Amino acid sequence: MNLAAGIQVAQLALKHRQNKKQQQRIIVFSGSPIKHEKKMLEMIGRKLKKNSVALDIVNFGEEDEGKTEKLEALLAAVNNNDSSHMVHVPPGPNALSDVLI
C-alpha cells in the first residue's frame, strides 16, 4: 500500500479546503503491509505536525513484522497535544465497525 502518497494527497486536499476554520484531520485505515521505511514515515509525520494536521490511524488486517512499529513511529512524529490517535483491531471474526463503535 502506498501510505505516503495517500497521506500527501490528503494533506494537499486539506490545504485547499474551502472552510479554513475547521481543524485538519486525516484518518488512515491500514489493512495491508507497509513497504515504507520508518524514517520516511517519521518525516511525513513531522511535516503534518508542522502544518497542524491531526492523524487518526486504524490498524487492522494482516499482522506484518514492523507494521505496528512503523505506524506508532508515524503517530509519535505527528502527535501534538494528544490530538492524534491509533486503534489496533485484532484479526478475528468481528466486523471492523463493531470494534470501532
* Measured distance CA(42)–CA(28) in Å, rounded: 15
Q: Is residue 55 over pLDDT 90?
A: yes
C-alpha cell recorded at residue 9: 494527497
Supply the pLDDT for residue 1.
Answer: 58
pLDDT band at 28 (very low <50, low <70, confident <90, very high): very high
Please tell me the CATH code under which domain 3-14+25-91 is placed.
3.40.50.410
Helix (H) / strand (E) element for 77: namely helix 67-78
* Measured distance CA(44)–CA(8) in Å, rounded: 8
Q: What ranges do the domains of the chain cover?
A: 3-14+25-91
pTM: 0.86
